[in-house]
Structure 1
Amino acid sequence: MNTRLGLAFPPSLPPERIRPVLEAAVEAGLDEVWFSEDCFKSGGVSAVASALAWTEGTGLAVGAGLLPVPLRNVAATAMEAATLERLHPGRFRLCIGHGVQPWMQMTGAAVGSPLTLLREYAVALRGLLAGERVTADGRCVRLDGVELDHPPKQPLPVHVGAAGPRTLRLAGEVGDGTALALGFDSDGILKACATTRETGGARHPVSAPVMIATGDRARQRLDSEPAAYGMQPGLGVAGGPDDLAEAFGQLGRGGLNSVIAQPTGDDPDLDGLVRMLGRDVRPTLAAA
């Protein structure tokens, strides 16, 4: 398996840092860069649109991962996604998910059954992006003969973000791929791959973010990062290029399709870290 190596732009960084990080990612030869839509940081769609425009002519894929479905009407998401795909064919990656429930409650967008919303939303979104006229009268998603004037000219896969076992199985069922949430250790990532493939099949693609830190106080910096996400310390990989290559290689050999490296927001040399990933880690991972 040729495992892809991507980068998650640290959501704690301001949007003006996006362009230099992208330039480093292109120079490093990374396969993809992902932007989250964590509340209340930067907008995911606007970040992705800018990133795709700034990297025009490169092979870099740019992902929105994930867009929290309670915050957006499914028709609006379909219009945005179709536009990005038509403007940048084959380079846009789309991922949707529950969103963090306390944040959804803060915005007044939380629903009684996040699983129901995600199921109905994914089915409707895939139909709209396939150019279908969609009518839906679900518990959460309601559409009356909605059809995009300008759907994607080629299929645009819809990836579904997941963490718990029920959502992992749902992602395998209704998604074209699964993007794991932060919070898994290496064993947990591989177990989650197996769970989502129970419904998605053996070839169902799975990506996972892995928090990383190198250099001075790497472990300390890494252990302080999960607190912002309500997770326990001890996750991720701290060390040098060999440590990252070994950890990522094990995940690739275990069946993970894409490893998405997520640096800490306080990395002292983020651009240098990105270049190191391409120079010293990606060649090893490509052979995993």
Structure 2
Amino acid sequence: MTDDRRLGILLLSTTAPERLPGLARLCEGLGFDEIWLAEDYFFYGGFTGVAQALTATERIRVGLGIMSCVARHPAAAAMEIASLDRAFPGRFVPGIGHGVPSWVRQMGLTPRSPMRALEEAVTGIRAVLTGREPYTAEGEYFTFGDVALVHPPLTDVPLYLGVIGEKGCELAGRIADGNVLSVLAPTEYVTWARSLGLQGMSQAGRTGSFSVPTYVLTAVDNDRDRARAAVKQSLAFYLDAVGPTPLTGSIGINDAVSALIAAGGYDALLEGMPEDWIDVLAISGTPDEAAARIEQYWAAGADCVILSPQPADSLETQLKLIAAEVLPRLAR
């Protein structure tokens, strides 16, 4: 492993919480560098899941990508982050974003300005984590009155955003240490998002590195057609769920995505999706093909490629195959 060529595994929110410790141990034992968990409402709790994964392992880093900035007060989020860092120094990477709008609406937490709420939250979390004096601020969304942690973190905890638009990617560079990129991110988008993050850092007068861990739908099989069929179903599901975004816009397919959704949603996407979409939006095929595609993501700027194995019901099988057949093919 090197700092800019890491390989991680996403444990989807559909995973039952009681399975997380065993899966985390398996990922570490197979040689992966990171584990990432989602906080999708209302599946497993993000901080609880991270704590389970950290407790079950010894060296592997565990990321939370992402928690909604409005689901907890930033001071409470900072307290949780600090507690995990003290228990497992340097192994926890928290990611913060807007949250899926439909879930945020269910909780009655939709902000008038999502970007402003995110900036206030992340700025407040960092201030509470790093401050030597109690933090006081009166924002549009969050208030801090002499907040100080009794048990501050032991390390300099990196804070990542999880955003996709141009303004969000720039904001990540201004206030965060990285940006967790969503599934459906082609390599072209990775390069674009990283450049915007670096631009934001420069504008804010910040120095250092900027991380872009990237989720990628993945299916590996010695039977190439079987792997591509598995990942194609997942691509159709996600494209139907999120529609055209800057992710797919980076390769000029937004109009085609919209047309297929209008023609029948998931079924139309599954039937009408061009084969080259599988090549650019996922990692699929034989171990040789998967290794080559991972290398392309690293070259595009994704310092950690976070595999989301498909289909999810064969997770352990996929993990073992990737570890045995793909990892040895990678130049790390």
Equivalent residue runs for 1:200-279 within 5 Å: 200=201, 203-215=209-221, 216=226, 217-227=229-239, 229-231=241-243, 234=277, 235-264=281-310, 266-279=311-324
- Find the residue that maps to 1:17 and give its secondary structure: helix
Does 20-29 or 217-226 show the bigger shift? 217-226
Q: Distance in 1 between matches of 2:112 and 2:26?
A: 42
Q: Distance in 2 between matches of 1:100 and 1:65?
A: 12
Does 97-106 or 20-29 show the bigger shift? 20-29
- Deviation of the 1:88 alpha carbon: 0.7
With over 3 angstroms needed to count, the CA separation of the structure-2 counterparts of 1:282 and 1:197, relative to structure 1, is: farther
Counterpart check, 1:87 vs 2:91 = no
Q: Match of 1:122? A: 122
Q: Distance in 2 between matches of 1:118 and 1:60?
A: 28
Equivalent pairs, count: 284
Structure number with bigger Rg? 2
Does 20-29 or 215-224 show the bigger shift? 215-224
TM-score under structure 1 length normalisation = 0.91
With over 3 angstroms needed to count, the CA separation of the structure-2 counterparts of 1:286 and 1:49, relative to structure 1, is: farther
Does 151-160 or 20-29 show the bigger shift? 20-29
The answer (yes or no) to whether the contact 1:4–1:286 under 8 Å persists in 2 is no
The one-letter code sitting in structure 1 at the alignment partner of 2:166 is: P
With over 3 angstroms needed to count, the CA separation of the structure-2 counterparts of 1:182 and 1:136, relative to structure 1, is: farther
Pick 1 or 2: higher relative contact order, CA cutoff 8 A, min separation 6: 1
- Deviation of the 1:268 alpha carbon: 4.5
1:35-92 Cα offsets, whole Å, 9 max, x none, are: 101122111011001111111xx21111111111110001110111100000011111
The answer (yes or no) to whether the contact 1:21–1:270 under 8 Å persists in 2 is no
Q: Match of 2:40? A: 38
- Find the residue that maps to 2:112 and give its secondary structure: coil
- Find the residue that maps to 1:63 and give its secondary structure: strand
Does 3-12 or 223-232 show the bigger shift? 223-232
- Find the residue that maps to 2:155 and give its secondary structure: coil
Q: Match of 2:253? A: none
What is the RMSD of the two structures over their aligned residues, measured on CA atoms?
A: 1.9
The answer (yes or no) to whether the contact 1:160–1:177 under 8 Å persists in 2 is yes
Q: Distance in 2 between matches of 1:221 and 1:18?
A: 25
- Find the residue that maps to 2:15 and give its secondary structure: coil
Q: Distance in 2 between matches of 1:214 and 1:116?
A: 41
Unaligned runs of 5+ in 1: none
The one-letter code sitting in structure 1 at the alignment partner of 2:111 is: V
Counterpart check, 1:59 vs 2:59 = yes
Q: Distance in 1 between matches of 2:125 and 2:241?
A: 28
- Deviation of the 1:195 alpha carbon: 1.6
Equivalent residue runs for 1:147-158 within 5 Å: 147-158=148-159
- Find the residue that maps to 2:179 and give its secondary structure: strand
Q: Distance in 2 between matches of 1:72 and 1:203?
A: 28
Q: Match of 2:162? A: 161
The answer (yes or no) to whether the contact 1:213–1:222 under 8 Å persists in 2 is no
The one-letter code sitting in structure 1 at the alignment partner of 2:212 is: V
- Find the residue that maps to 1:206 and give its secondary structure: coil
The one-letter code sitting in structure 1 at the alignment partner of 2:174 is: E
1:141-199 Cα offsets, whole Å, 9 max, x none, are: 21111111110022111111110110000011000222122332221122111122111
With over 3 angstroms needed to count, the CA separation of the structure-2 counterparts of 1:186 and 1:20, relative to structure 1, is: same
Q: Distance in 1 between matches of 2:64 and 2:231?
A: 28
Q: Match of 1:49? A: 51
Q: Which has the larger share of helix?
A: 2
Q: Distance in 2 between matches of 1:47 and 1:239?
A: 30
- Find the residue that maps to 1:93 and give its secondary structure: strand
With over 3 angstroms needed to count, the CA separation of the structure-2 counterparts of 1:22 and 1:76, relative to structure 1, is: same
